[in-house]
Amino acid sequence: MLVRLRMGLRESEFALVALAAAIGVLAGLVVVAMGAATQFLHVVLFGIAPDAHLSVTAGVAPLLLVLVPALGGLVFGLASQWIRRGAASAPVDPIEANALQGGRMSLKDSVVVAVQTLFSSGVGASVGLEAGYTQGASGIASFLGQRLHLRRADLRTLVGCAAGAAIGAAFDAPLMGAFYGFELIIGTYAIPAFVPMMTASFTAAVTRRLLAPEALPVLAPLSAPGLADLPAVLLLGAFCALAGIAVMRGATLVEAGFRRVPLPVALRPALGGLAVGMMALASPTVLSAGHGAVYHFLAADALPGTLALLLLAKMAASSISIGSGFRGGLFFASLLMGVLAGRSYAAALALALPALPADVSLYGLIGMSALAVSVVGGPMTMTLLALEMTGDLNLTLAVLAASGVSSLMTRRLFGFSFATWRFHLRGESIRGAYDIGWLRELTVGELMRSDVPRLAVDMSPGEARRLCPPGATADLVATEADGRYAGMVPPAALYAAEGDAPATLRPLLRLASTALTPGMTIREALAAFEGAEAEALAVVVDDGSRRVVGLLSETRAIRRYSAEMSRRLGEITGEKGD
């Protein structure tokens, strides 16, 4: 039965769509379960009403505001230290899985990350649940896909479907969720992924609506900006880009600061939680992701100075929470920061240009999308969120303009989203979720040929010519008596030396210090060919012995590279092979 199912999924796109629908349902269940569990923690630990949002609830006991994040951070730090002791490697998130692992993720690690994220937000750390939503849903999808032996492209698509579906369910915005999957998890608008992605996102949203219907506040009608407002809208995009970069840099600086302090790693979240709790004494807005506060501050009246202070406090709280070691993301938090940034910007604009009327709610919505684009990426994702929140296409065009400016400035000034910045700090050169893992899997050891004619470096050219007559081979490798690589002998030089031949092959050697190793990627090999200006290079083991194990020609490497590139392009256009 399982074998038939595997064959059906490999041969039928309808079967993959059906599997994506099931993944969407599971993603919706993950969102519902995690959301309910987080709210339960807020109710129990902070004493808020069951239907209230922590970030906009006034009157929480000051002692709870300080102690819950601090003690919760202590529990989190100790538990995380215990988990890390038994872990062979760091968990792989959906972006890294699709970029480097062909969509392969550990279900166990994904569950751990989801629980850590849930607990972090539950005790008030200023982090978003999106990391837990996408990790849990994508881990399930990857597990099922691996059990069904899906193709690499299909497994990556399924992981993207799960992550996008989870985000779509969280916001009740299926279009936004689908484009989240395209832009941030798959890394491209792949044609074969379109129907599975849309199916998963819509089934997840329907599942959420059936199991946990939530009456979201209705936004008041917003006036669409005119052409005269366009410069101000574009400038808001630039302002949000700078704020997003500041948050990402801030998290890194806090983390670096904790490393310099002689404090055990397990105690860092407790100190971070204490700092967040102290800020919460002034306003609970800094607590948790602030999902409920997004709608509140889009419509609520507030003094410009208050909004600016809340923006700075939320930026600091999020940076401290992430930098001190709490698990979570900055997506949900960046939405609230964007609303506060947009409204603060509108207030400053009204003071500077009183003749230019500014709808503060409109600028709050634009700022929400623009700042999230800076932190997370995905301009179309955030534009569609604004569209699904308001239903106003004219307004959405202004959001797209600001988001485009924010994305461009962030790329030029910073170069990363928050997720890819974290990879950069680890030494991984990942700029997005597009598939580069195959480049690392295609190694010199796989491409080389091992039947290489070897010549002893101390033999005479005449003996070498007898062993390798003209036309026998184009590449001659010379080795020392102990098998170490000595260099390449160009056949032209060998036969040109017939009249005045040296005693040994040593004077004829080339590329004595240049060789490939079996672990090199094809991209590194091509760079080595270009740098050495050679048509072939010897392959030696990299254990210090420099023993020759094979030979690779540039022609073979280029041919295989081109074939793999053509295959990946076929996966994007729908022309997949086994």
SS3 545: coil
Q: How far apart are CA 338 and CA 347, in angstroms?
A: 14
Answer for the pair 418, 376: CB distance below 8 angstroms, yes or no. yes
For the domain made up of 2-218, give the CATH fold: Clc chloride channel (1.10.3080)
275 pLDDT higher than 50: yes
Which residues lie below 8 Å from residue 502, measured CB to CB, with a gap of 6+?
A: 461, 508
pTM to 2 decimals?
A: 0.80
Least confident range from 83-92, 307-316, 330-339, 422-431: namely 422-431
Q: What is the mean pLDDT of the chain?
A: 84
Question: What are the residue ranges spanned by the domains of the chain?
Answer: 2-218, 227-425, 439-564
Which residues sit opposite 122 in a β-bridge? none
Sign of the dihedral through C-alpha 282, 287, 289, 293: negative
Q: Is the pLDDT of residue 9 over 70?
A: no
DSSP for 50-90 reads TT--GGG-----HHHHHHHHHHHHHHHHHHHHHHHHT-SSP
pLDDT of residue 534: 83
Whether residue 423 has pLDDT greater than 70? no
pLDDT greater at residue 567 or residue 7: 567
**Is the sign of the CA dihedral 202, 206, 212, 213 positive or negative?**
positive
pLDDT of residue 489: 83
Report the candidate in 551, 571, 553 with the shortest Cα–Cα distance to residue 561: 553
What does the pLDDT read at residue 217? 63
Cα dihedral 142, 144, 145, 147, rounded to 10, equals 120
Q: Of 203-212, 434-443, 466-475, 483-492, where does the model show the most confidence?
A: 203-212
Predicted confidence (pLDDT) per residue in 22-34, tens digit = 999 999 999 999 9
Name the region of 475 (left: φ>0; alpha: ψ -120 to 50; beta: rest). Answer: beta
101 vs 345: CA distance, rounded Å: 42
Structure tokens at 107: 């279900």
The pLDDT of residue 117 is above 90? yes
Q: pLDDT tens-digit profile of 531-562?
A: 888 888 888 887 777 888 888 888 888 887 77
Q: What digits encode the pLDDT tens for the residues 204-242?
A: 999 999 998 876 666 667 777 777 778 889 999 999 999
CA atoms 351, 353, 354, 359: torsion sign: negative
How far, in Å, CA of 393 to CA of 538, rounded?
Answer: 61
Q: What is the mean pLDDT of residues 396-410?
A: 90
The Cα 248–Cα 372 span in angstroms is 12
| Other CB atoms within 10 Å distance of the CB of residue 450 | 10
Mean pLDDT over residues 450-470, rounded? 79
Which class does domain 439-564 fall in? alpha beta
Each residue's pLDDT tens digit, 131-176: 899 999 999 999 999 998 888 888 989 999 999 999 999 988 999 9
The reply to whether 2-218 and 227-425 are identical in fold is: yes
If you ran DSSP here, which 8-state letter would residue 235 be given? H
Mean pLDDT calculated for residue range 456-479: 77
* DSSP E strands, 403-465: 454-456
Give the strands of the sheet with 476-479, arranged side by side. Answer: 454-456, 476-479, 485-489
Tens digit of each residue's pLDDT (9 = 90 or more) over 284-342: 999 988 877 888 888 777 777 888 899 999 999 999 999 898 998 888 889 999 999 99
Percentage of the chain surpassing pLDDT 70? 87
- In this predicted structure, the answer to whether residue 517 has a pLDDT above a threshold of 70 is yes
* Nearest residue to 540 via CA among 512, 509, 500, 502: 512
Q: What is the CATH number of domain 227-425?
A: 1.10.3080.10
Q: Residue 437 has what pLDDT?
A: 60
Determine the Cα–Cα distance for residues 54 and 450; give it in Å rounded to an integer.
Answer: 65
Confidence (pLDDT) at 578: 45
Do residues 185 and 98 lie in contact, with contact meaning Cβ atoms separated by under 8 Å? Answer: yes
Most confident among 7-21, 57-71, 254-268 (mean pLDDT): 57-71
